[in-house]
Amino acid sequence: MNSQKSVFFSFLAAILFSMFLFIIFGENGYLHRNRMKEIIETLHLDNERLVEENLNFSRRIDRLKNDPAYVESIARRELGMVEKGEIVFNLRPSKKNKKR
């Protein structure tokens, strides 16, 4: 009778140990759950960043459509455009100043 009990408890211990391994390392186990939580957090942060970026683009598009002064400032800054009658002075440092 004693050997039957030890075999039963050994079998029970093996089953419990297998269940423990499955809970920790299984396909939907603890480690997989933690990895998924990290991925979800990263996706939430990316989503927040993209929402803010889209909002900034929407504001810029609205200004480009409705604000002539903004369009003019971009044309001057990015394209180097000037109005008729304006004089542009390009001030470049002299070669003597570059050596210092």
What are the tens digits of pLDDT across the range 69-78?
A: 999 999 888 8
| pLDDT mean over 18-45 | 88
pTM of the model: 0.55
What are the tens digits of pLDDT across the range 41-56?
A: 999 999 999 999 999 9
pLDDT at 58: 97
Alpha-carbon distance of 34 to 25, in angstroms, equals 11
**Domain segments of the chain as ranges:** 2-79
pLDDT at 65: 96
Specify whether the CB–CB gap between 6 and 14 falls below 8 A: no
